[in-house]
Amino acid sequence: MKFFIQLILVTLFTYLAQLAAPWWGVFLAAGIAGMVVRGKGIATFAAGLLGVALLWGGQLYFIDAANESILSTKVAAIFGLSSPFMLMLAASLIGGLAGGFSALTGKLLVDLVKKKREQHSVYS
């Protein structure tokens, strides 16, 4: 359940960040999502990865369909990829990696702070 909430938050925050910030807003958005709901490390990474990859993949699908793959066919060939699908997959994975590591970093930062507080409460 936590995982799905994380996933939805990553997707939502990234979507909102993209409306205003430059492309690297995805790092901040996924990072914040990772801080808000704390899951396990692997699960947070996966939620970040999937959240951004699915968002990007979905957006690319609609852009490419409207463009009838005129541009993606050319750019895929520039990158030596065999099809627009491979290009969309590569783009989504790159977004996903950014999302995954950002979410994980966010979670680990909160772990750090929370742990400290817990320690303080014990010894003071």
Query: CB of residue 87 vs other proteins: minimum separation in angstroms?
Result: 8
Instruction: Output 1 or 82, the one with its CB closest to other proteins.
Output: 82
Return the number of the residue (66 or 122) whose C-beta is nearest other proteins.
Answer: 66
Least distance from other proteins to the Cβ atom of residue 37, Å: 17
Give the per-residue SS3 of the chain.
CHHHHHHHHHHHHHHHHHHHCCCCHHHHHHHHHHHHCCCCHHHHHHHHHHHHHHHHHHHHHHHHHHCCCHHHHHHHHHCCCCCHHHHHHHHHHHHHHHHHHHHHHHHHHHHHHHHHHHHHHHHC
**Residue 1 is which amino acid?**
M
Q: How far is the CB of 72 from other proteins (least distance, A)?
A: 7
**Shorter beta-carbon distance to other proteins: residue 2 or 115:** 115
Binding site for other proteins (CB under 8 A): 18, 22-24, 26-27, 31, 41, 56, 59-60, 63-64, 66-68, 70-75, 77-79, 87, 90-91, 94-95, 97-98, 101-102, 104-105, 108-109, 111-112, 115
